[in-house]
A = this chain, B = another copy of it.
């Protein structure tokens, strides 16, 4: 083995950390809670960005860039919003360092105190809506469909690579509309884009739904979410899209003149996904040998390892590899030839398994003589001997099969671990067994809170696809009447 990975059964949490670190995705930095995203991890994030960005633009969204800093007074203008974020803010108070007159190196210059403190953005609704005020005059200026790719900071006390870090990378879309209906449609459109991306690119089955009022974004009238099941049965919120009503428009006085000449407040949405998706990718598909990357996101889709004894054999294999690499690249695949001369094939195999490369090709002198090649799949850990002639087409087709299989496997896992539940005793047991439970809920914050206090389970969403259960019943906890089941789970 290249590097020892803790097994999932032994310690799921340690397994996750091992994969993130040993597959060279990320590491903790010297700054508390801030991670370094290493080149291999960043290459996956770049693929996510590029694909999502294309999907956003197809819906008419444009990118822009807004300031990193938010004046404290802006931040406070929307009451629920500031309440939601005030406890985890990085605050800039000074703008200069100077040499300590007592010779203790460099200190913060007390004369360079800012008149008003600046908050490092934890999210940008306030600074963006203060900007939109100047952009919106008439109905002709709407809608505004802006997105930004940037860093944000939320001062988390307990951090985990990708899943919860003080600084993380994300995109945040902020749209402005003339009507409530248009804004709601936009919020739905974007959560559907996220679901499409999760399912078809990340190979991640997700449930789309509304958040319960308790779990809404601070300042939203409705939060839509996509929820995914990890291999320990916990839920991971993978993306959210918020209908913000007129809250921010009112806080920042953003009005437009409608076609009748009347002043109206603007309607808003915001929506975002973050580097947390990297965590979802690791946890949904990885196994005890390492990462399992869906081909659509793999920075290297095919790795080729030569197996040889003599220089002649090496030369003949490399020649074959070079032409096969070109053929695969022409079909749109990214290929790496691992010709490092200091490592044995077995070590290389383990390393590329750890890094989740979907397809590995091994070629030795005997294969060459017989006109065959060994093709290994990362997702199933199976090998096949395939004719060298036309192998690029074989791999091209295989790539789709792998993408599909990774999704199907995750879906089968979820299906096996999601169930209706109507008994409180069963609830308490099954929620600890890592199940998603479809239960009746009476719609009150009180019941939700009590269930959380007793079991740590929360309502992940009120589903609107995948597992919708509109039916009459009784709340699992309070016994009060309910019109639909919702998804309960313990979450990251």
Q: Which residues of B contact A73 (CB under 8 A)?
A: 105
Answer whether residue A320 sits at the interface, using C-beta atoms and an 8 A cutoff: no
Q: Is there contact, CB below 8 Å, between A76 and B96?
A: no
Q: Is there contact, CB below 8 Å, between A155 and B95?
A: yes
Q: Is there contact, CB below 8 Å, between A31 and B127?
A: yes
Interface size of A in residues (CB-CB distance below 8 Å): 64
Answer whether residue A90 sits at the interface, using C-beta atoms and an 8 A cutoff: yes
Q: Which residues of B contact A96 (CB under 8 A)?
A: 86-89, 91, 155
Mostly, the A contact residues are mixed
Answer whether residue A150 sits at the interface, using C-beta atoms and an 8 A cutoff: yes
Answer whether residue A108 sits at the interface, using C-beta atoms and an 8 A cutoff: yes
Q: Is there contact, CB below 8 Å, between B69 and A34?
A: yes
Answer whether residue A303 sits at the interface, using C-beta atoms and an 8 A cutoff: no
Contact of A131 among B36, B98, B342 (CB under 8 A): B36
A252–B199 CA distance with the chains assembled, in angstroms: 44
Answer whether residue A394 sits at the interface, using C-beta atoms and an 8 A cutoff: no
Answer whether residue A71 sits at the interface, using C-beta atoms and an 8 A cutoff: yes
Q: Is there contact, CB below 8 Å, between A91 and B97?
A: yes
Q: Which residue of B lies closest to A126 (CB)?
A: B30
Interface hit among A38-46, A311-319, A329-337, A449-457: A38-46
With A105-B76, A127-B31, A151-B151 as contacts: A39 and B62 at CB distance below 8 Å = yes
Q: Is there contact, CB below 8 Å, between A69 and B167?
A: yes
Q: Which residues of B contact A74 (CB under 8 A)?
A: 30
Contact of A31 among B45, B67, B106 (CB under 8 A): B67
Q: Which residues of B contact A134 (CB under 8 A)?
A: 27
Contact of A94 among B75, B93, B130, B150 (CB under 8 A): B93
Answer whether residue A136 sits at the interface, using C-beta atoms and an 8 A cutoff: no
Interface hit among A113-121, A223-231, A256-264: A113-121
Answer whether residue A347 sits at the interface, using C-beta atoms and an 8 A cutoff: no
Q: Is there contact, CB below 8 Å, between B146 and A39?
A: yes
A82–B96 CA distance with the chains assembled, in angstroms: 11
A34–B93 CA distance with the chains assembled, in angstroms: 16
Q: Is there contact, CB below 8 Å, between A87 and B97?
A: yes
Query: A403-426 CB contact bits vs B (8 Å, 1 = yes)?
Result: 000000000000000000000000
Answer whether residue A68 sits at the interface, using C-beta atoms and an 8 A cutoff: yes
Q: Which residues of B contact A46 (CB under 8 A)?
A: 63
Q: Is there contact, CB below 8 Å, between A95 and B86?
A: no
A150–B95 CA distance with the chains assembled, in angstroms: 20
Which are the 3 A-B pairs with shortest beta-carbon distances?
A: A34-B67, A39-B62, A37-B65
What are 8 A-B contacts defined by CB distance under 8 Å?
A27-B131, A29-B67, A42-B62, A91-B94, A91-B97, A92-B92, A97-B119, A151-B151
